[in-house]
Chain A
Amino acid sequence: MTMKKYLCVVRSPSGKCSPPSPSQMEEMYAKFNAWKDKFEANIFDMGSKLGDAGKVVSQAKTLDGPFVEVKEIIGGYMIIEAESMEKAIEVVKESPGVGSPESSVEIREMMQPPME
């Protein structure tokens, strides 16, 4: 079965929450690595964290980001490979990124350009 690529955009609530303690970081890192090992085959690009600043450019004008709502920020992205949207959801659902109750991940299929 051909694998499709999915762009995953991680949204988190904005505003300062208290930073994790070293013990919590340990736990987060362990969970993350366990997830990464489990779905190694599905992770195409671990992506990166996105900066806080953002702009929206259109014909008329340049607007300040953020783009969705002031309440949430887009924290990071990654690209995963899966045979279907269902499988992609499964991979993302188990990721520590959706672990916190207010965070969410938007999954969009990346369409391949048609073969010449």
Chain B
Amino acid sequence: MNNNLVEHFFRHEYGHLVAVLTQKVGFSHIQDVEDAVQNALITALESWKHKGTPDKPHAWIYRVASNNIIGTLRQNNRRSEILEQKLDATESIDETDIESMLSNEFKDGILNWLFICCHPSIPIESQLVFALKTLCGFSIKEIAIRLFISEANVYKRYSRARTYLKNHSNELSQLKRIDHSIRLSAVNKVLYLIFTEGYLSSHLEHSIRSEMCEDAMRLTTILVDNPVGKVPESFALLALMHLHIARLPARVNNNNELLLLEQQDRGLWDQNHIHQGLHWLSHASVGDDFSRYHAEAGIAIEHCLAPTFNQTRWDKIVKCYDLLEKTSPSALHRLNKSVALAQWQGSEVGLTELNKQNTPQWLLDSYQYHAVQSDLNRRCGNIKQAEISAQIAMEMAPTPAIRKSLSSRLKVNC
């Protein structure tokens, strides 16, 4: 029996089929397509249990899902012969051909879907949820867990995107190359969000985080493989993802506790991803385009290439933070910059930089800000201030894992 399904076969298959079939039958039928695909997967699960996984699992599910959707449309008296011809076209070809046809068609379908999701009239948070549900195959509940928002909120965001797309289904089929270029930045942004939601959410167990990171990387890889995505901005984004994923294995110790950069075993960093990151970064370094992804990849590559924490080229990192600040200003970037500056020119310089800024309330409400305050003050000898900030940081820490990591870093007894 053949059990060798690729990892996340069901989840990815769901995304691919929803994207490809909806584009064939029209956006107004998206709900029917989602049900048809869901049922096809359940049929596969039941049937394969008894007969084993078929040799051509993609083609198998594609057939069942197509038949399901034809059945539903017939039942609803929305029969359209053109539609059926489109779907029946696969009947006469043998399964090997379907598999190879699918792999190309799927890539185009997925990509086109991404551009559809990123419609400028849909709010970015809805785009993100819509992509996670339809392209990555996560359920509403799974998305709620991953984004730390309620299921009702996820559903609201999701329906907002779906309703918009359903009501504008006529325009969608005529998405032109020109729209692709205009929307490319929005597509990059959604991919970046899928990635960072996975990477930064220290609340989540490792496997959940890496799942989202890998999905974002998978989709970005498809993007840069297509003429529309062959631009420096997308290359830089893919580089950034590889360089972050490279360091994932070293971020926690055996007890699943978060480790600081200084404590990480650099031997565990994935050299293959580092090489991939370098490769894409070199592709990204042509032309005049300098995006936030360039700056972030620039920071990540410095960390990846430093043989030890102390040999890190902090000056280069500070420079990248300055560039990042120019392309996308944020108080969080300035906070990070002061940490890098403290490493490069000493704690006092870092602390002065931090204190001369206007810190917005949202940053004052985060444990990160107070942790940095505590650390820099302690290193400057302001023990009292360091302890006050440490207490605030500990109280704000969202999870026990983070609290534990803070208490060792800030030398607090708890």
A: which residues have CB within 8 A of B? 19-26, 28-29, 32-33, 36, 46-49
Contacts and interface: CB of A to CB of B under 8 A. Distances in A.
Contact of A22 (B3, B13, B48): B13
B55 interface: no
A26 B50 contact: no
B42 A26 contact: no
Contact of B9 (A21, A26, A33, A49): A26
A21 B138 contact: yes
Given A19-B38, A23-B139, 11 more contacts: A21-B139, A21-B141, A21-B142, A22-B13, A23-B8, A24-B139, A26-B8, A29-B10, A29-B48, A29-B49, A32-B49
Q: How large is the interface on B (under 10, 10 to 19, 20 to 34, 35 or more residues)?
A: 20 to 34
Given A47-B50, A48-B50, A22 B137 contact: yes
Contacts of B38: 19
A10 to B, nearest CB: 12
Contact of B42 (A19, A36, A46, A47): A19
Given A21-B139, A21-B141, A21-B142, A26 B10 contact: yes
B242 to A, nearest CB: 24
The residue in A22, A32, A47, A49 that gathers the most chain B C-beta atoms within 10 A of its C-beta is: A22
Interface of B: 1, 3, 5, 8-11, 13-14, 38, 41-42, 45-46, 48-50, 137-139, 141-142
Contacts of B42: 19-20, 25
A40 B45 CA distance: 19
B45 A28 contact: yes
Nearest to A34: B3
Contacts of B46: 49
Contacts of A24: 139
B8 to A, nearest CB: 6
Nearest to B51: A46
Contacts of A23: 8, 10-11, 137-139, 142
Contacts of B141: 21
17 contacts: A21-B138, A21-B142, A22-B14, A22-B137, A22-B138, A22-B139, A23-B11, A23-B138, A23-B139, A25-B42, A25-B45, A26-B11, A29-B45, A29-B49, A33-B3, A36-B49, A48-B50
The residue in A19, A21, A32, A49 that gathers the most chain B C-beta atoms within 10 A of its C-beta is: A21
A22 B133 CA distance: 11
A29 B2 CA distance: 12
A88 B20 CA distance: 45
Contacts of A33: 3
Contacts of A49: 46
